[in-house]
Structure 1
Amino acid sequence: MDRSKYLTVSQLTKYLKLKFDRDPYLQKVYLTGELSNFRLRSGHQYFSLKDDNAVIDAVMFRSQFAKVKFTPEEGMKLCVTGHVSLYERSGRYQIYIDTMEPDGVGSLYLAFEQLKKKLNAEGLFSLPKKPLPLFPKRIAVVTSLNGAVIRDINTTVRRRYPIAQVVLFPTVVQGEKAAADITRQINRANQMGNFDTLIIGRGGGSIEDLWPFNEESVARAIAASKIPVISSVGHETDTTIADLVADRRAATPTAAAELATPQRLDDTLLLLKDFQRRLFNTMRAQIDFDKKQLAKVNQSYIFQQPTRLYENYAQKVDQLTQELQHQEESRLQTAHNAVDQLSNKLLAYAPTRQVKQGQEVVKQLQARLQTAAQSYDQRVNQQVTALTKQLHSLDPLKIMERGYTYVTKEGRVINQARQLAAGDTMLLHFADGNVTVTVTNIKEKNNGNK
């Protein structure tokens, strides 16, 4: 045996891994599937993606998973990108994930909904709201140092209630470090303990820009604040977790400053107009959103090709129908065979059949008896004929017809010469009659003449 032709398991595995790593189609794979075997770990994440017919192992390293804004859950439908390779130790191929998104909705939106659901279950949204003081002396503002937010708040406070002091707690309002900085400044204002109202806010932006105000740490800092908090984040249509936890929500920084200061008649009228405008914008945004959702639904393959919904089901129904027919035919055939077997058994034990069989047996026995009787008669006749012939052959008359005779004297048969004497009268018997004679001379063979 030439052992040089044989590979070790490690050599074969390395060769297959090289094939995976050099395949350009496997370097950037877009994959969708259902999350399975997922357990949140502190480091790297190991789980599986599956559909109805297959499953693939998946790995997401700590650095990539840290960028995921939502919390994956078992059974969640995901869209991921990554590269496919082979893990040499186990010999199993798996996908190494770079990005992860929920299928159908954005990851940030899903993370927002998950945190919202979690905090709502804990009761953070239903905590008693702290009332705003009517005549604040000091107002703390947590926002960017150079943004328009602090300028609008200062302008409004000086116009409405100039005796109030506005104190800025400068913070980063965008980026990965923003949430920690916002939390730190909220806690700092509470630790100082000499503020009547706290305003947190920033200008408009995308959901990514506003995301620090959706972080759990910021929400818990607001909920734990002893100072009444006014949240003014983004535009009127933007709603953040901070808005839901805060004691009051303002659509704009100007509105936040107005809430924090005493209200005048003209301010009330402006507030009503502001509410009207907000309602109009909210309705318009909702209508636009519903239109987009409707357009998205209309573009779905369910409406474009509705037959695809039931193609597999129709095929499965056909297969099941055929199987059912085959099973029914098989069961009917088995039942027919059983009935035939029972019918044959019943016929075998039926009285008429027994009678017919008995009659056949009687006929056979009669025929055999008749044959035996005829054979017996024939044998008897043959025996009688043979005996008759033997009897005829032994008949004295027949012998006498051949010239033989016998002698009697006084009714006794004479079979020896010494039984007679000269002068005796004897009777000679012939076949056709008798003759009486007288003995004149006797000659014996042994004694000579007499």
Structure 2
Amino acid sequence: MNDILSVSELNNYITGLIDADKFLRNFWLQGEITGFKYYRQSGHMYFTIKDEETAISCVMFKSRVRGLDFMPEDGMEVLLRGYVSVFARQGKYQVYVEEMQPYGLGGLFLYLKQLKEKLDAKGYFEAARKKPVGGASRVGIVTSQDGAAVRDILRVIHQRNRGTEVIIVHSAVQGPEAPAEIAAGVRLLNEYQAVDVIIVGRGGGSFEDLMAFNTEVVVKAIYESNIPVISAVGHEVDFSLADLAADMRAATPTQAAQLAVSDVQTLENKLAGLNRRLGRAADRILTNKNQILDHLLMSSVWRQPQSLLEKREQVLNDLARRMDRSMNDILKDRTTRLAMAASGLDARSPAKILERGYAIVRRQGKIIRDPDEIESGDKLNIQLLNSAIEVQVLGKGKVYGQR
């Protein structure tokens, strides 16, 4: 009779068989996501991966979810790496996902859309932080040293300004290693601070070939660069997240070189034109000043300078005569007024009053102005014009009709 197994024993037996299979311990699986669920509290993801005929359950635990740079969703075509094991409680096998990435154009476009929104939220694409670009004398280039892009850049720089210094930092521009190498090249040039501008790019390629420039590590390195960065990825129709983070986007590597380095010949031609304009302006000013000088030299001042002195002398003499007349008039007026004032004072002097027959009466040296000031028997001194007499009051009375 066959042995009777418990359910647990059977599941454990199957688990052992699967776990012993080396192929099932590490493999890549391609398919479309369906039934996607993300539990934010636990951080785990559960979904089914399917193709046209079959499907299999998958789980991706929180520790692996942290490594994702996109958010999976139903209908996305993905490529995942994992292993198969049995979930003993339900007795079913499922894929335990270790890593996952978009697969195919649809998945890549969705990945880029989500990554762009994420980086935009971090401020990596802000226009306000863009640095000015142009007129560099030292250029750093981060690209493949074997690609056509670097040759185009060097050729244009050489044509525009032979004196430009160039530092090339070699990096892969596609493949798994490319993002880290490109970012490292940008950081290296910033560390040494030996260039005025950095050109990051490559020549044309497929959408998948350009994906290195659509990674967070490259965008972050460009954003954190203290040196202005020009992105030059692919052709004019190609667009990458690196273009959004860069201080300036060039449609091609050739245009990047044109934006970075000034054309010396153009500058020399412009300078020559400015010199010609300056010379013409100086000639016009000099001609104008010469005309003014000729006009002045033709005036009577320069032809007969003595006439100017004579005119000024005549004006001065006229002013002197007018001043003399004015001073004489003032002196006569002041003399007349002084004579009249002296005459008035003389008419009011005591001597003139005495000449007219008046006398000055004093008692004890004090002038008497009112009869009430004296009494009978008072001795008085009467001053006449040329003499004085002493008298004694015998009596007093009022004289009516006189004042």
Which residue of 1 is the match for residue 201 of structure 2? 201
- Unaligned ranges ≥5, structure 1: 268-450
Which residue of 1 is the match for residue 190 of structure 2? 190
Which residue of 2 is the match for residue 47 of structure 1? 46
Alignment of 1:119-198 (within 5 A): 119-126=119-126, 127-134=128-135, 136-198=136-198
Counterpart of 2:175, as a letter, is: G
Q: CA deviation at 1:179?
A: 1.2
* SS of equivalent to 1:95: strand
**Partner Cα distance (1:38, 1:213) in 2:** 31
- What CA deviation, in whole Å up to 9, does each residue of 1:252-272 have, x standing for no partner? 1111101112258999xxxxx
Counterpart of 2:228, as a letter, is: P
Which residue of 2 is the match for residue 9 of structure 1? 7
Q: CA deviation at 1:91?
A: 3.5
- Using a 3 Å threshold, how does the CA distance of structure 1 residues 209 and 103 change in structure 2: closer, same or farther? closer
Q: CA deviation at 1:92?
A: 3.2
Q: TM-score, normalised by structure 1?
A: 0.47
Higher relative contact order (CA 8 A, sep 6+): 2
Counterpart of 1:150, as a letter, is: V
Q: Cα RMSD over matched residues? A: 4.3
Which residue of 2 is the match for residue 72 of structure 1? 71
**Partner Cα distance (1:40, 1:215) in 2:** 28
1:10–1:88 CA contact under 8 A, matched in 2: no
Which residue of 2 is the match for residue 35 of structure 1? 36
Q: CA deviation at 1:107?
A: 2.5
Which residue of 1 is the match for residue 305 of structure 2? none
* SS of equivalent to 1:158: helix
Between the aligned residues of both structures, percent identity stands at 36
Which residue of 1 is the match for residue 300 of structure 2? none
- Using a 3 Å threshold, how does the CA distance of structure 1 residues 11 and 244 change in structure 2: closer, same or farther? same
* SS of equivalent to 1:37: strand
- What CA deviation, in whole Å up to 9, does each residue of 1:225-244 have, x standing for no partner? 11111100112211111111
Q: CA deviation at 1:41?
A: 9.3
Counterpart of 2:151, as a letter, is: R
1:141–1:167 CA contact under 8 A, matched in 2: yes
Which one has a bigger Cα radius of gyration? Answer: 1
- What CA deviation, in whole Å up to 9, does each residue of 1:110-164 have, x standing for no partner? 2211111111122221143211133x21111111111111111111011112221
Counterpart of 2:134, as a letter, is: P
Which residue of 1 is the match for residue 215 of structure 2? 215
* SS of equivalent to 1:167: strand
- Unaligned ranges ≥5, structure 2: 22-27, 268-403
Which residue of 2 is the match for residue 89 of structure 1? 88
1:125–1:244 CA contact under 8 A, matched in 2: yes
**Partner Cα distance (1:31, 1:224) in 2:** 36
**Partner Cα distance (2:56, 2:248) in 1:** 48
**Partner Cα distance (1:102, 1:190) in 2:** 32
- Using a 3 Å threshold, how does the CA distance of structure 1 residues 70 and 106 change in structure 2: closer, same or farther? farther
- Using a 3 Å threshold, how does the CA distance of structure 1 residues 56 and 156 change in structure 2: closer, same or farther? closer
Alignment of 1:222-261 (within 5 A): 222-261=222-261
**Partner Cα distance (2:158, 2:151) in 1:** 11
1:77–1:103 CA contact under 8 A, matched in 2: no
Q: CA deviation at 1:108?
A: 2.1
Counterpart of 1:171, as a letter, is: S
Counterpart of 1:12, as a letter, is: L
Q: CA deviation at 1:208?
A: 2.4
